[in-house]
Amino acid sequence: MTIISKEDIEQAKCLVVAYHEAVLAGDAAAANDASTAYDRLVDTLNGGTNFGSYADESSPGPQIEAAVAAQDGHDPMWGQAGRFYVEVDGMPTVVVYEPAFIHGHVELHAVRLEHPFISETGYRSLFLHGDPAERFAGCSVREAVTAQIQALKREKGALVHPQKCDLALSELPFVKAGLRDLDATLPTIGDHVFLVQMKQVAVVVDVLPRNSVRGPLLRVARFASRKPKRNAVLSTIVHEEVERWHVEQVSPDRLKEIDCHGKYLTLGVIEAFEAMNQPEYC
């Protein structure tokens, strides 16, 4: 096993910083200089040859890469291995960035079963082809990956619910923190939501917690039909549980424009209906 000194690691870190800054500046020549110097360092540690320099974890390449990797959950620099959480248009994802100068490899992992994803398997692999200093000039790794995810969504069209997700990744502290922030955007009790499939307005009456892999479930109340009769009785109000991604949040302005009696439902109205159905009231 090749012994990597602190000086070697510091030199590699400096080269990664130089490469990252060159990419942000769109300076392809400077980026190439940094990548060439990095490769030369790895080759030197490998006995002066690049053959076998990335053969296994004990080889100089992987050792240097691990030594200069970004802290787990933090955005990596260009040329720096790392994994981080990103949420793109409601799609929570863990990104694993594996650098290779001139291009990089990215793994996308689903971390919620009930949230849409770009693959049924809960996993997608993609390469960041081309020179980042030219293709992604001025962009961070996060920004470049986000743009790639959005491009994949446009290409795929309708998203799907993953059949599985990486449980180990879902339990990482930085992923749980990201999912908590995502859950904080959920509609709250008393909010009006639009049921996409039924094309009706409903009121959120409860938010039911589940584990981090599945996320909270919404319990809503709605009229049995879009426009109930004036003498509607309690049986015309339906309670059901729905996934977050089966509803759209409704702003007050949009609520005024929607032609659906459900927009008049409130927690007070529902409570009144329930009270009128009690035996003592009858």
Asked if the structure places residue 281 within a domain, the reply is: no
| Beta-bridge mates of residue 82 | 97
Exposed / middle / buried, residue 75 (Cβ in 10 Å: 0-12, 13-18, 19+): middle
Quote the pLDDT of residue 148: 92
Final residue of a structural domain among 67, 94, 113: 67
Quote the pLDDT of residue 227: 57
Amino acid identity, position 81: A
Asked if the structure places residue 163 within a domain, the reply is: yes
Confidence band for 166, pLDDT divided at 50, 70 and 90: confident
| Beta-bridge mates of residue 108 | 95, 124
Report the number of distinct structural domains present in the chain.
Answer: 3
> Is residue 162 a contact partner of residue 119, using CB atoms and an 8 Å limit?
yes
Quote the pLDDT of residue 207: 92
Asked if the structure places residue 1 within a domain, the reply is: no
Residues 134 and 105 in one domain: yes
Asked if the structure places residue 282 within a domain, the reply is: no
Residues 139 and 100 in one domain: yes
Query: For residue 36, how many C-alpha atoms fall within 13 Å in the half-sphere facing its CB?
Result: 6
Asked if the structure places residue 61 within a domain, the reply is: yes
Residues 33 and 53 in one domain: yes
Nearest CA among 17, 18, 236, 245 for reference residue 116: 245
Quote the pLDDT of residue 264: 87
Residues 18 and 88 in one domain: no
CA distance 225 to 30: 65
Per DSSP, the three-state class of 30 is helix
Amino acid identity, position 7: E
Asked if the structure places residue 129 within a domain, the reply is: yes
Asked if the structure places residue 80 within a domain, the reply is: yes
Q: What are phi and psi of 222, to 5 degrees?
A: -145, 165
Residues 181 and 76 in one domain: yes
Amino acid identity, position 129: H
Quote the pLDDT of residue 234: 45
Residues 57 and 77 in one domain: no
Q: What mean pLDDT value characterizes the chain?
A: 88
Final residue of a structural domain among 163, 185, 207: 185
Residues 257 and 180 in one domain: no
Token pair for 5: 């000194």
Residues 111 and 178 in one domain: yes
Tally of residues, the chain: 282
This prediction has a pTM of 0.82
Mean pLDDT of 63-86: 96
Higher pLDDT, 230 or 209: 209
What CATH number corresponds to the domain at position 211? 2.30.30.390
Asked if the structure places residue 133 within a domain, the reply is: yes
Q: pLDDT tens digit string along 28-52? A: 999 999 999 999 999 999 999 988 8
Confidence band for 280, pLDDT divided at 50, 70 and 90: low
Residues 101 and 76 in one domain: yes
Token pair for 211: 């584990």
Residues 76 and 159 in one domain: yes
Q: The tokens 């799907």 sit on which residue?
A: 160
Quote the pLDDT of residue 31: 94
Residues 200 and 267 in one domain: yes
Residues 167 and 261 in one domain: no
Query: For residue 42, how many C-alpha atoms fall within 13 Å in the half-sphere facing its CB?
Result: 28
Final residue of a structural domain among 27, 44, 67: 67
Higher pLDDT, 86 or 280: 86
pLDDT at residue 69 is higher than 70 = yes
Query: Which range marks the domain in which residue 223 is found?
Result: 186-276
